[in-house]
């Protein structure tokens, strides 16, 4: 109940935002007495009641800050603990609780930072702040992130719901490994609980040397190319950076992306 979704499927994308989620979930439980909804249930479309609905004493502003810290997509959360504390300072009067938030984590604290730029489909840019640690990095992850050796590959899902609501999720695709897409909790890319989405709907393989993606449909209701043509079941299709394909319908559109 305290683990965000990237701890299930996006381990290379863990960072301060992961701990911010866990901290906010702990706060949610302490204040409301109700555990945060687990991430796998949220991935299937379930939602939790905002804190201000459970506890009238909690202001809407404070509830909104906690909601942002608990955002399902890690791109939508606070990037650094300082950002989280800054937001809390805007909606909570520390003197009411005899707490000096600034003393807990001074803003003047120097920290070296690296920037990860993530392009979104609406051409806006989001920036993830990642604090560099002084401890040695595991060899596997060091090779995975080294800009001279690897470019990260992503699978980006855009979901269009009735009423015009659009939401997006991203998963990292490790090179030369088959990623399974479906509605099973054990899927590498877990889809919403839509009965037309098969348990193992399709699979994606990222061929790093050729910089291309191989997609195979395994489903009952189909996987579709960008032009709307259905893929032949179990036939391999090659996609390049920026290409799209759909699961069941354009309601679930995937885009394959290679970091520039």
pLDDT tens for 123-166 read 433 433 333 334 343 343 333 333 344 577 889 999 987 777 88
Q: What is the DSSP letter of 231?
A: P
Q: What is the mean pLDDT of the chain?
A: 79
| Best-predicted range by mean pLDDT (13-22, 30-39, 53-62, 232-241) | 232-241
pLDDT tier at 241 (50, 70, 90 boundaries)? very high
Does residue 100 share a domain with residue 158? no
pLDDT tier at 114 (50, 70, 90 boundaries)? very low
Longest CA pairwise span in the chain (Å) = 65
Beta strands at 166-173 and 153-160: parallel, antiparallel or unpaired: antiparallel
**Which pTM does this prediction carry?**
0.48
Look at residues 109, 34, 111, 38 and name the one whose alpha carbon lies nearest to residue 72: 38
Query: Does residue 207 lie within any of the structural domains?
Result: yes
pLDDT at residue number 214? 95
Query: Does residue 113 lie within any of the structural domains?
Result: no
The domain boundary, picked from 104, 136, 163, lies at 104
More confident residue, 101 or 202: 202
pLDDT tens for 206-237 read 998 899 999 999 999 999 999 999 999 999 99
Cα separation, 256 vs 132, in Å, equals 28
Q: What is the DSSP letter of 58?
A: S
pLDDT at residue number 139? 41
Query: Does residue 114 lie within any of the structural domains?
Result: no
What the block records as the tokens of 20 is: 């911010």
Look at residues 69, 75, 81 and name the one whose alpha carbon lies nearest to residue 109: 81
CATH assignment at residue 157: 2.60.200.20
The domain boundary, picked from 45, 76, 104, lies at 104
For helices 81-91 and 16-32, angle between their N-to-C axes, nearest 10 degrees: 40
What the block records as the tokens of 224 is: 């579709």
Query: Does residue 138 lie within any of the structural domains?
Result: no
Does residue 87 share a domain with residue 160? no
Cα separation, 20 vs 203, in Å, equals 32
Query: Does residue 146 lie within any of the structural domains?
Result: no
- Domain of 210 in residue numbering reads as 153-258
Query: Does residue 200 lie within any of the structural domains?
Result: yes
What the block records as the tokens of 92 is: 């909570």
Number of domains making up the chain: 2
Query: Does residue 144 lie within any of the structural domains?
Result: no
Query: Does residue 126 lie within any of the structural domains?
Result: no
Does residue 158 share a domain with residue 92? no
């Amino acid at each position: 109940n305290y683990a965000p979704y990237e701890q299930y499927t996006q381990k290379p994308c863990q960072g301060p935002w992961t701990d911010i989620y866990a901290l906010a979930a702990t706060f949610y439980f302490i204040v409301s007495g109700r555990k945060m909804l687990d991430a796998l249930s949220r991935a299937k479309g379930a939602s939790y009641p905002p804190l201000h609905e459970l506890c009238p004493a909690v202001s809407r502003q404070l509830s909104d800050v906690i909601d942002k810290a608990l955002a399902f997509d890690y791109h939508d959360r606070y990037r650094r603990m300082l950002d989280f504390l800054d937001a809390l300072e805007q909606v909570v009067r520390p003197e009411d609780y005899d707490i000096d938030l600034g003393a807990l984590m001074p803003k003047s604290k120097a920290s070296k930072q690296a920037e990860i730029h993530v392009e979104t489909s609406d051409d806006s840019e989001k920036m993830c702040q990642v604090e560099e640690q002084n401890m040695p990095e595991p060899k596997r992850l060091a090779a995975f992130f080294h800009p001279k050796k690897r470019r990260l590959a992503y699978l980006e899902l855009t979901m269009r719901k009735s009423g015009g609501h659009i939401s997006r999720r991203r998963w990292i695709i490790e090179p030369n490994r088959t990623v399974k897409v479906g509605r099973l909790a054990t899927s590498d890319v877990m889809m919403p609980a839509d009965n037309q989405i098969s348990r193992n709907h399709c699979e994606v393989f990222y061929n790093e040397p050729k910089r291309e993606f191989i997609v195979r449909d395994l489903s009952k209701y189909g996987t579709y190319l960008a032009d709307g043509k259905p893929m032949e079941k179990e036939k391999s299709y090659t996609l390049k950076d920026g290409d799209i394909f759909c699961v069941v319908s354009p309601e679930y559109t995937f885009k394959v992306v290679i970091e520039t």
